[in-house]
């Protein structure tokens, strides 16, 4: 596995979305129109049974602003980059099907459905 990420191809991203940051421990996609962020962070696997032998996992979060407040919702945790890439593609496809992406609460609902 490479140390660096292989970003999703630009043509597979919904309109207005781009790669904002990429490190071995963190990946962030941002929507310029709405300010939404989709962030993958490598974190401790503290809610995974120890017999599985997984000590680190990837947490996928949706960041948003409502008025002057900012928030972040944890969407999922996965154990590998391959699973994370599949989740990213699925979530970005869901977001891309929406006519309007200015309401973060409805975005979170549509992702979780």
- pLDDT tens for 46-90 read 766 565 556 778 899 988 887 788 888 888 888 888 888 899 998
What integer best gives the mean pLDDT of the chain?
80
What is the per-residue pLDDT for 28?
A: 93
Residue 58's DSSP bridge partners are: 42, 78
Please spell the DSSP secondary structure of 26-82, one letter per residue: EEEEEETTT--EEEEEEEE-TTS-GGG---EEEEEEEEEEETTEEEEEEEEEESSHH
């Amino acid at each position: 596995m490479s140390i660096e990420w292989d970003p999703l191809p630009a043509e597979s991203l919904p309109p207005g979305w781009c790669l904002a940051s990429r490190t071995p421990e963190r990946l962030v996609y941002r929507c310029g129109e709405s300010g939404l962020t989709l962030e993958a962070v490598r974190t401790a696997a503290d809610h995974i049974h120890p017999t599985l032998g997984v000590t680190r996992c990837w947490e996928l979060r949706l960041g948003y602003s409502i008025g002057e407040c900012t928030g972040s919702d944890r969407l999922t945790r996965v154990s590998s980059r391959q699973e994370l890439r599949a989740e990213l593609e699925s979530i970005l496809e869901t977001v891309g099907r929406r006519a309007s992406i200015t309401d973060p609460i409805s975005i979170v609902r549509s992702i979780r459905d």
